[in-house]
Amino acid sequence: VALKTGAKQSELIRKAIDKFLERFKDRDRKQLIRQAKGIWQDRTDLPDFKQLRREWDRVNFE
């Protein structure tokens, strides 16, 4: 292909990878976010994140 188009092989590879990533980027990311929704919902071993944020906010503003 490089010989037929006159482009460098590395340039063709970069373009092919860019097209591949562009084709799947948005759809897969959105799907993964949707699938992850609520995965920590019923966990009892995690700290209270609202309390942690309040503590961090106090530290940052003091």
The total number of residues shown for the chain amounts to 62
Domain around 55: 2-61
Whole-structure pTM value: 0.39
Q: Token pair of 19, please?
A: 């097209």
Q: Token pair for residue 57?
A: 């906010």
State residue 62's pLDDT score: 58
- pLDDT value of position 41: 86
Task: Collect contacts of 37-44 with beta carbons under 8 A, ≥24 apart.
Answer: none
Residue 3: per-residue pLDDT: 82
pLDDT at 61: 67
| pLDDT tens digits, 3-62 | 888 999 999 999 999 998 887 776 777 888 888 898 888 888 998 889 999 988 887 665
- Number of domains, the chain: 1
Distances (CA, A) of 42 to 24, 30, 32, 38: 31, 23, 19, 8
